[in-house]
Amino acid sequence: MKNTDSVPLAQQAPEKANKPTHEHNHSKAPEESLLKIYWRLWLSLTILIGFLLLKFVLSYELTQPVEIGLMVAAYLLAGYPTLERAFLSLKRSDFFNEFTLMSIATLGAFYIGEYSEGVAVMVFYEIGELFQSLAVNRSKRSIKALLDIRPDSVTVVRNGNHQVIHPSDVAVGEMIIVKAGEKIALDGTLLTQKATFNTSALTGESRPATKHAGDAVLAGMINLERLIEMQVSTAFKDSKLSRILSMVQDATSRKAPTQLFISRFAKVYTPIVFFLALSVILLPFFFVDTYQFKEWLYRGMVFLVIACPCALTVSIPLGYFGGIGLASRHGILVKGSNFLDVMTELTTVVSDKTGTLTRGVFKVQEIKTSLDEQEFIQTVAALEKASTHPIAKAIAEYALDQTQIHHVERVEEIAGQGLKGIVAGKNVLCGNLKLLQKFNITYPTELEQIVDTIVAVSIDNQYVGYLTIADEVKEDAAQTVAELKKMGIETIMLSGDKAAVVQKIADQLHISTAYGELLPEDKVQKVQELKNAGKRIAFVGDGVNDAPVVALADAGIAMGGLGSDATIETADIVIQNDQPSRIVAAIKIGKLTKQVVWQNIILAMGVKIAVMALGAGGVANLWEAVFADVGVALLAILNAYRIQSKTLS
């Protein structure tokens, strides 16, 4: 079971303990601009190529002091960051890392007089490191850039004047204006009667969304038609978009099991290859009659160069960064690479009904009451206005064209059942039949035969009538269930709605197992039973009422996370545009990412083992070793990088 799922992001410390100590990003200390790195490596490579042309093409022999001087200059230009890191590692008693291995190998080449090869190893190693760093940095930037769309300025209305300031300086409750074509900088409530927004940057949905006065509007939306006014409801740092940005940045610190394994593997692998290289150098002394120290030292240096684990330690996290980036472009926010792995292992997707497989846009269909209908709907709507549940919103919306709604107080929401409160001095209950049963309210038995969602009402402990509410299935829900079935993944539906309604939707979507009339604790019990049976579970819900079961599942998936802080904090994966088909996309992205990561592992280890054997046998030289090492690293990087440009079928 996950132990951080229900912890707010601000309290979730990155997994520093799991972070490998052999990071080699050029953005790390010592800090150095990319331009300086380019010039250093270019000068070093120029000196090396010039020397090789003079010596092997033009057959011009330099004096030994001049040759050594040129090679030392080229070596230091290229390799001083690696030498410095090796020195700092040794001061920390961290001997077994790639910087130390590379320093020993290249200095060993100088010791036996192979100056140009020592320089070549260091130059091409640093070039490979540079490419790796650029790829990692670009991948991280691309993930952040997908959502970092917050404007740097906002127009606030203060004392009747318009002031352009930074969004962080706007207080909650202040009014701001947004011109046509501008991005909204802060979360708030629309004051203008009606407005149309482009929400694609947040949800991936291309169709414009129309909002009315009183509706919530979010940072990142683009105002399409006319100047609007809105009241700020959330501070800049607490906006939905800011929280999602923090989530995406934190995602890279939550590592998949494969990453953790490679990190641990590298810590064991590095000392092993060092001692194997030492054995290649020293053991032949006891078995080879023609033993020459320089020859076997050279073979040991080749062994060390090719054994460097950089291709593994960079290309694997880069593959997961690519997977997180690809998911983000499809409107799927993944809180960590570990959840990409979980998505590849699912056997069962357990889904809520309302707002997940159905639109959650309810309409009042029928009203039956012993009271005056207008008085009845006013009373019910007064209580339901206190809830954010889709059914409550439908009733409140229906009552908008009625006369003034009554005053309400002491509202209490009873999870999975409904609401109770005092409306115009009367005790009112609104909810499902379980709510009436809970308070021993007698109602007509024929209510239990109604298939549609029903809201039963009692006033002062007397049943007075009911409303029926209808919802509709999302366009891609049936396709999602069918595709999951093709993948061998079972879909189960859990809902607090009436069993008859749940079964009706299940039949419509061809879901074989569905349960209705469940309280939140009942959903937890059902999911726990599935886990006890050895199932790997993803639960898809709204992330608020279902927070306990979202946290319990192996992967908690929230629909429409932009609408709920609890969703962002509780779920492992947030689907921004409410489309169930994104569940299938998340599974495909997880499988693609894992496939590429294992391709890189097999490629890197296969080539390394082969060239290490050739080097120990004296067949491969330092040139071949460095080209094999850098070449494998670059191939692994390119393979990982293609995830980011992948189009899902």
pLDDT of 470: 78
- Mean pLDDT across 190-213: 77
Instruction: Give SS3 for 233.
Output: coil
User: What is the pLDDT, as a whole number, of residue 329?
Assistant: 79
Average confidence (pLDDT) over 437-451:
88
Distances (CA, A) of 448 to 9, 442, 456: 43, 12, 11
Based on C-alpha coordinates, what's the Rg of the chain?
32
- Let me know if 446 is exposed, middle or buried by CB neighbors in 10 A (0-12, 13-18, 19+): exposed
Q: What would the mean pLDDT of 349-371 be, rounded to a whole number?
A: 85
Confidence class for position 590, pLDDT limits 50, 70, 90: very high
Label residue 173 exposed, middle or buried (CB < 10 Å: 0-12, 13-18, 19+).
Answer: exposed
Indicate whether 271 pLDDT > 80: yes
Cβ within 8 Å of residue 313, ≥6 positions away:
20, 22, 23, 24, 98, 262, 263, 266
Domain extents for the chain? 21-144+252-324+593-645, 154-238, 331-358+473-590, 363-470
- Could you read off the pLDDT of 542-569 as tens digits, one per residue? 755 677 788 788 998 988 755 556 556 6
Residues with Cβ within 8 Å of 206's Cβ and at least 6 positions away in sequence, in order, are: 200
Q: How far apart are CA 59 and CA 584, in angstroms?
A: 64
User: Across residues 139-146, what is the average pLDDT?
Assistant: 56
**DSSP-assigned letters across all residues of 179-207:** -TTPBP-S-EEE-SSEEEEE-HHHH---S
CATH fold label, 331-358+473-590? Rossmann fold (3.40.50)
pLDDT digits (tens, 9 = 90+) for 76-132: 998 888 888 888 888 888 777 778 877 887 887 788 777 887 888 788 778 767 776
| Mean pLDDT score of the chain | 79
pLDDT at 561: 58
Give the model's pLDDT for residue 4: 37
Q: What is the pLDDT of residues 181-194, one digit of tens each?
A: 888 888 899 999 88
CB atoms within 10 A of CB 210: 12
In angstroms, the CA 484 to CA 587 distance is: 9
Whether the predicted pLDDT of 466 surpasses 50? yes
The predicted pLDDT at position 172 comes to 92
The amino acid that residue 254 corresponds to is R
Please determine, for residue 8, whether its predicted confidence score (pLDDT) is greater than 50. no
Nearest to 382, CA basis, from 443, 427, 435, 441 = 427
**Residue in 5, 187, 341, 352 annotated catalytic:** 352
Determine the 3-state secondary structure of 19 from DSSP. Answer: coil
Gap between the Cα atoms of 549 and 547, Å rounded: 6
Average pLDDT over residues 506-517: 91
Classify domain 154-238 by CATH architecture.
Answer: Distorted Sandwich (2.70)
* Residue 423 CA: distances (Å) to CA of 165, 419, 617: 44, 12, 89
Q: Which secondary-structure segment (H or E) carries 243? A: helix 240-251
Instruction: List the CATH code of the domain at 363-470.
Output: 3.40.1110.10
Active site residue 497: no
Q: Which residue has the higher pLDDT, 484 or 93?
A: 484
Would you state the pLDDT for residue 17?
Answer: 33
Residue predicted with more confidence, 167 or 38: 167
Each residue of 594-603: b (16+ CB within 10 Å) or e?
A: bebbebbbeb
